[in-house]
Amino acid sequence: MKVLVTGGAGFIGGALVRHLLAQGCAVVNADILTYAASPEALAAWQASPDYEFVNADVCDAAAMAAVFARHQPDAVAHLAAESHVDRSIQGPAAFIRTNVTGTATLLEAAHGYWSRLPDERQQRFRFLHVSTDEVFGTLGPGDPPFTEASPYAPRSPYAASKAASDHLARAWAETYGLPVLVSNGCNTYGPWQYPEKLIPLMIARALAGEALPVYGDGRQVRTWLHADDHATALAAILERGAPGETYLIGSRDEHQNIDLVHRLCTLLDERHPEGAPHARLVAHVSDRAGHDRRYAVDPAKVEHTLGWRPGWAFEAGLAATVDWYLAHNDWAQARAAAPTVAPQRRAAE
């Protein structure tokens, strides 16, 4: 199978590309290489005949049509997106452009390509639109987790842009018959994540001896999934998911942000004792506008219908992630030093 992955130089996209290649798939990676891209994460596959990189923007209709015409993919995994909530608050236009216009442009290109395929290939073709649990809004402390039937209630420009893209994907399925699948994943962590998100940001700042900014009281709750497990879930949906269906991807590992930061400090104390105690660096900052209090997803559908389960236990995955960032501290520090977001506001998720 040949899969077109958009945003394949990004964090989750890169994990998916590596997994698909390891499983024997051919992959075309279309990525514009924004600030958050890590093409070096795919260096081991650069010489593989099964891998090709295309520097292209999903908002460029001609470029997308050319990618389909040249590479003739059997499936699409659409991950190209702007994904940082803080940035969406500061500059929502970029999120609307990439997440909404880009998705519509890609859907148009995919539909034009798919509609001309022979019947057998049309039946096999899949378009997986990869989204987030943030489209569902916020949960209270005792609320049950989100399910595929949960209503949309986005509360940030980022979440709203992803909600719009989800609706577009489903509209192309209903109106044109394009075999679309949608996934909504929880917070994801692991190697090669740009250090504006919570875990790599805290590690990078702690190793630099800088303050660890935590929004508000830090009691916001998130579910955490390792990037490798997110990738295997997406691959399972591509391979065995039913067109028209939505799948929530999560681990059931819910943690308060402040507890997670303190757990990172403990792991760093053990591995980098010269900076201990790292918890002394924790600094509470004013909360983010519209900050969702809790996300949680019920992954029962993807577990029961597709047989997917996460492979990483959270404690082991977190420790391995800390070890990876310690071994790649130069990469992380260079990325974290980029002055694109005011340091006092970079207490991200």
Residues annotated catalytic, as ranges:
133-134, 158
Q: What is the edge-to-edge ordering of all strands in the sheet holding 51-55?
A: 51-55, 26-31, 2-6, 75-78, 126-132, 180-185, 246-249
> Which of 310, 210, 201, 297 has the alpha carbon at shortest distance from 257?
201
Q: Are 212 and 343 in contact (CB under 8 A)?
A: no
Classified as helix, coil or strand, 26 is strand
Q: What's the helix, strand, coil split of the chain in %, to 5?
A: 50, 15, 35
- Our CA dihedral for 7, 158, 132, 137, rounded to 10 degrees, sits at 180
CA separation for the pair 306, 298 (Å, rounded) = 14
Residue 118: exposed, middle, or buried by beta-carbon count in 10 A (0-12, 13-18, 19+)? exposed
Specify whether the CB–CB gap between 250 and 146 falls below 8 A: no
